[in-house]
Amino acid sequence: MRPPRTRDHVPLPETSAGHHGQPWARRPAIPRARGAETPDDELTAVGIDPTDGRLYRALLARPRATAEVLAEEAGVGVDRARQGLVALERDGLISRRPGQPGRLIPARPDVAVGALISRREQELERARLHADWLLREFDRGARDEHAARVVEIITDREAIGQRALQLQRDASDEVLMLDKPPHLGSTDNPDQLDSLARGVRWRAVYSTESLEAPGRLDNVRRFRDAGEQARVSPQVPVKLAIADRRLALLPLNTDNPSADHTAILVHPSSLLATLIMLFETLWKTGLPIDPAAFSATSVRSRGQPAPEVIQLLAAGMTDSAIARHLGVSRRTVGRWIAEFMADSGVATRFQLGLAIGQRAAGLPPGTAPR
CATH of the domain at 135: 1.10.10.10
- The reply to whether 163 and 282 lie within a common domain is yes
Q: Does any domain span residue 19? A: no
What are the phi and psi torsion angles at 353 (to 5°)? -60, -40
Q: Which of 34-48, 201-215, 234-248 shows the highest mean pLDDT?
A: 234-248
Shared-domain flag, residues 177 and 58: no
Structural domain of 317:
292-360
Q: Identify whether residues 117 and 165 lie together within a single domain.
A: no
Of 154, 189, 212, the last residue of a domain is 154
Mention every residue, 6+ apart, whose C-beta is less than 8 A from residue 183: 213
pLDDT tens string 98-147: 766 667 888 888 888 888 888 888 888 888 888 888 888 877 776 666 66
Residue 191 and residue 278 in one domain? yes
Q: pLDDT of 324-360, one tens digit each?
A: 767 778 888 888 888 877 877 777 777 776 676 666 5
- Which of these, 284, 370, 322, lies nearest to 362 by C-alpha position? 370
Task: Report pLDDT for 275.
Answer: 95
Q: Are residues 145 and 169 in the same domain?
A: no
Is 353 inside any structural domain? yes
Strands 151-154 and 263-266: antiparallel
81 C-beta neighbours (distance < 10 Å), count: 25
Does 276 lie in the same domain as 163? Answer: yes
Shared domain for 228 and 239, answered yes or no, is yes
Domain count for the chain, please give it.
3
Same domain, 303 and 199: no
